[in-house]
Chain A
Amino acid sequence: AQTVTQSQPEMSVQEAETVTLSCTYDTSESDYYLFWYKQPPSRQMILVIRQEAYKQQNATENRFSVNFQKAAKSFSLKISDSQLGDAAMYFCAWGRGQKLVFGQGTRLTINP
């Protein structure tokens, strides 16, 4: 069975600084997707970024980028120029077919 591990229950960063959230996963599959979702206090899960495993190039979305290391089964999220609105729970997820497996989440605090 697939597992997703987020080893940092909580992280904090100064506004405008850069922070990296860690995620590792375990799978025997070679073709899959990886996602980072953000959950603010409103509870709405919002997709931040996604990566297809067959793509070697790391995905980027504005201030958000990933470091995808397939051999190491690692998928970290880097947030540049952190903003107060980035404060939320962040969940890493592994997906294949139509099922997702989520990590336990990292609570990110932004210090003004």
Chain B
Amino acid sequence: GAGVSQSPSNKVTEKGKDVELRCDPISGHTALYWYRQSLGQGLEFLIYFQGNSAPDKSGLPSDRFSAERTGGSVSTLTIQRTQQEDSAVYLCASSLSTPRQYFGPGTRLTVT
């Protein structure tokens, strides 16, 4: 594919439900990142995958958040028992060998 893709584009869920957000990085990119962007705010780092190494989970805000990256490609961010404060845009990015990151269009999550 030409760029990073994310699905769904928008997700509305009820408080307490689990959600899964998907990211498909640029083919061949070894690094994949998840960020959270609350309304009008900057990007908050969540988690980082690099090749087959253990992920850097230092940004995950609680144990309700988890992420997987299968086969070194597609990644899924899972939020369990969603809360209203989880409402935000979730951005995924990928990169190859430099700090330059290529971003997807994001998933807007609304928890009602």
Interface residues of A (CB under 8 A from B): 32-33, 35, 37, 42-47, 50, 91, 95-105
| B81, chain A: closest CB distance, angstroms | 26
Interface residues of B (CB under 8 A from A): 31, 33, 41-43, 45, 48, 50, 56, 89, 91, 93, 95, 98-101, 103-106, 108
Q: Is the CB of B99 within 8 A of A33?
A: yes
Q: Is the CB of B101 within 8 A of A105?
A: no
- 23 pairs from A and B in contact (CB 8 Å cutoff): A33-B98, A33-B99, A35-B100, A37-B103, A42-B105, A43-B89, A43-B91, A43-B105, A44-B103, A45-B103, A47-B100, A91-B43, A95-B98, A95-B99, A96-B99, A98-B48, A98-B50, A98-B98, A99-B45, A99-B48, A100-B99, A104-B41, A105-B42
Q: Is the CB of A102 within 8 A of B99?
A: no
Instruction: Pick from B43, B99, B106: contact of A98, CB below 8 A.
Output: B99
Q: Is the CB of A100 within 8 A of B101?
A: yes
Instruction: Pick from B33, B42, B48, B105: contact of A44, CB below 8 A.
Output: B105
Nearest opposing residue in chain A for B108, CB measure: A43
| B7, chain A: closest CB distance, angstroms | 14
Complex contacts, A46 vs chain B, CB 8 Å:
103
Q: Is the CB of A102 within 8 A of B103?
A: no
